[in-house]
């Protein structure tokens, strides 16, 4: 039976890092302040903002919610983002999704100053990953890697299969794992892999499986190689339950380590958003 790798102890370790860096900034008279920008009234977004604020309060980080009307235009949104970019008191910006259909999400997201992009999803920040010059990386991708590092698994040359190739999870996880200091051997699977019936083949030879596909329990437990490490990034609502992309119980029978859903990667992700917030303030002020 696998060891269940919970997110909380790892998140608590990240909190220590956040508090250390935040007090270093405080000693220099620098305050960390996040601006969360929302267009419209999506209720799920309101819930997300509340949980962000709770995390910010816990780490003595200021958090301000900027709400634009649902009918706000593209140029009004860009104007608001430009003001936040210019503001010396705002050190981090989050553009909340979903955005209304009339908004060009790419234009809005890329309008954020990369040094204030605490979600780490601006093309400049993703580009830095390609060059091994990571500054602000996407929190979920970082969380998956942090969990692997926390369990002490030897990544060098490890056959690592990532399922999912999104810009915020699958691809950045691959880029981080390819960094020379980690040096995993990475395969990325996607719907093309499944269409050719090759997903099982890849998963069953993997030392490490990172599931980020958004499909409830689509990865069957019996596909997992005995002793493999399974990081389940997926969060899927099934009835009143949250489940991952991996069929948990049968996978836990075969894996050596597995992350639970909920209580796994998600907990680490939200904490890393706060770490990115302090890292961003450091970057803006030339602090390494």
Nearest distance, CB of residue 245 and ligand NDP, angstroms: 6
Choose between 31 and 190: whose C-beta lies nearer to ligand NDP: 190
Choose between 256 and 269: whose C-beta lies nearer to ligand NDP: 269
| Phi (first) and psi of residue 93, to 5 degrees | -130, 135
Nearest distance, CB of residue 88 and ligand NDP, angstroms: 30
Is the bond into 213 cis (omega within 30 degrees of 0)? no
Choose between 31 and 220: whose C-beta lies nearer to ligand NDP: 220
Nearest distance, CB of residue 217 and ligand NDP, angstroms: 11
- Residue the block writes with tokens 């490890």: 158
Choose between 134 and 140: whose C-beta lies nearer to ligand NDP: 140
Choose between 182 and 218: whose C-beta lies nearer to ligand NDP: 218
Q: Which residues bind ligand NDP (CB under 6 A)?
A: 140, 163-166, 168-170, 189-194, 199, 212-215, 218, 233-236, 265-266, 269
Nearest distance, CB of residue 205 and ligand NDP, angstroms: 16
Nearest distance, CB of residue 170 and ligand NDP, angstroms: 6
Choose between 163 and 177: whose C-beta lies nearer to ligand NDP: 163
Nearest distance, CB of residue 191 and ligand NDP, angstroms: 3
Q: At what angle do helices 170-178 and 139-150 cross, to 10 degrees?
A: 50
């Amino acid at each position: 039976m696998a060891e269940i790798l919970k997110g909380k102890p790892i998140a608590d370790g990240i909190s220590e890092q956040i508090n250390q860096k935040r007090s270093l900034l405080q000693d220099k008279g620098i305050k960390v302040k996040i601006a969360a920008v929302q267009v419209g009234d999506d209720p799920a977004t309101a819930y997300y903002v509340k949980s962000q604020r709770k995390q910010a309060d816990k780490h003595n980080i200021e958090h301000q919610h900027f709400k634009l009307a649902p009918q706000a235009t593209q140029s009004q949104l860009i104007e608001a983002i430009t003001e936040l970019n210019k503001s010396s008191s705002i050190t981090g910006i989050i553009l909340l999704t979903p955005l209304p259909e009339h908004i060009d999400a790419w234009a809005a997201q890329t309008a954020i100053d990369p040094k204030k992009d605490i979600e780490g999803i601006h093309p400049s920040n993703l580009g830095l990953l390609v060059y091994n010059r990571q500054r602000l990386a996407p929190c979920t991708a970082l969380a998956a890697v942090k969990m692997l590092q926390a369990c002490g698994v030897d990544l060098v040359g490890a056959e690592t299969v990532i399922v999912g190739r999104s810009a915020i999870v699958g691809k950045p996880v691959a880029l981080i794992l390819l960094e020379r200091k980690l040096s995993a051997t990475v395969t990325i699977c996607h719907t093309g892999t499944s269409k050719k019936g090759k997903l099982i083949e890849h998963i069953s030879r993997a030392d490490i499986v990172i599931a980020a596909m958004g499909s409830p329990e689509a990865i069957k437990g019996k596909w997992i190689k005995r002793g493999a490490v399974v990081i389940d990034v997926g969060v899927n609502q099934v009835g009143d339950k949250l489940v991952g992309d991996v069929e948990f119980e049968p996978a836990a029978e075969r894996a050596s380590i597995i992350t639970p859903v909920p209580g796994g990667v998600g907990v680490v992700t939200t904490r890393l958003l706060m770490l990115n917030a302090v890292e961003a303030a450091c970057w803006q002020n030339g602090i390494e």
